[in-house]
Chain A
Amino acid sequence: QKEVEQDPGPLSVPEGAIVSLICTYINIAFLYFMWYRQYSRKGPELLMYTYSSGNKEDGRFTAQVDKSSKYISLFIRDSQPSDSATYLCAMSASGTYKYIFGTGTRLKVLA
């Protein structure tokens, strides 16, 4: 079983839809959680960084962490065609530089 599971997609939604992306994990020691967006032929761009549990909001993006159920979520409100990209989750335990990444979910927002 992979340490971090992420549905590869593709996930296709109409413009304006609310998008929900999820990563599940098995290591209860993970405390730091990140979401990245990666456009084709580009490097990953950090979207959200959260510590431990709870929600974090930034514009149209909301990140949630549910440590009891061991999953994290990224919600995108009012999705735009420019949101079409691959979304990567990453997480790490305390005291390590090693981030564990999901395989990424490819999102397509249709105009």
Chain B
Amino acid sequence: ETGVTQTPRHLVMGMTNKKSLKCEQHLGHNAMYWYKQSAKKPLELMFVYSLEERVENNSVPSRFSPECPNSSHLFLHLHTLQPEDSALYLCASSPGQGPNTEAFFGQGTRLTVV
């Protein structure tokens, strides 16, 4: 097991459903990330939080909504998703007060949108 825990591991949802992905890190890190991993594509950064503040602006559809209530927890709220949103969603955390420190990943949530 890694120091970054994601739940659920697998999720199947309809296009009209609302669900949330949860991430918890036990490493005392200050930054947390959501990444999307699709087949044959590089990991895509979706959101970054540092000390509970969102940093970096990335173009992500509004049907994905992040929430970072404290430095140990990160959520990704999902609503009205499309089949092309099916992917592995990875949470990561990194230490330090600023950027450019190595990121540690969770095991991911395999999302299937039907």
Contacts and interface: CB of A to CB of B under 8 A. Distances in A.
B107 A97 contact: no
Contacts, number: 66
A7 to B, nearest CB: 13
Contacts of A44: 43, 90, 105
A43 B90 contact: yes
Contacts of B55: 97
A95 interface: yes
B100 A94 contact: yes
B42 A43 contact: no
Given A97-B33, A101-B43, A45 B100 contact: no
Given A43-B90, A98-B48, A31 B100 contact: yes
Q: Which bracket fits the contact residues of B? A: 20 to 34
A34 B48 CA distance: 18
B56 A98 contact: yes
A32 B99 CA distance: 10
A62 interface: no
A45 B108 CA distance: 12
Contact of B42 (A4, A41, A94): A4
Contacts of A90: 43, 103
B102 A102 contact: no
Q: Which 7 A-B pairs have the closest CB atoms?
A: A43-B105, A101-B43, A101-B42, A49-B102, A97-B99, A97-B48, A43-B107
Interface string A65-102: 00000000000000000000000101010111111111
Interface centre among A49, A90, A98 (most CB of B within 10 A): A98
A97 B42 contact: no
Interface in B26-47: 31, 33, 40-43, 45
Nearest to B102: A49
B106 interface: yes
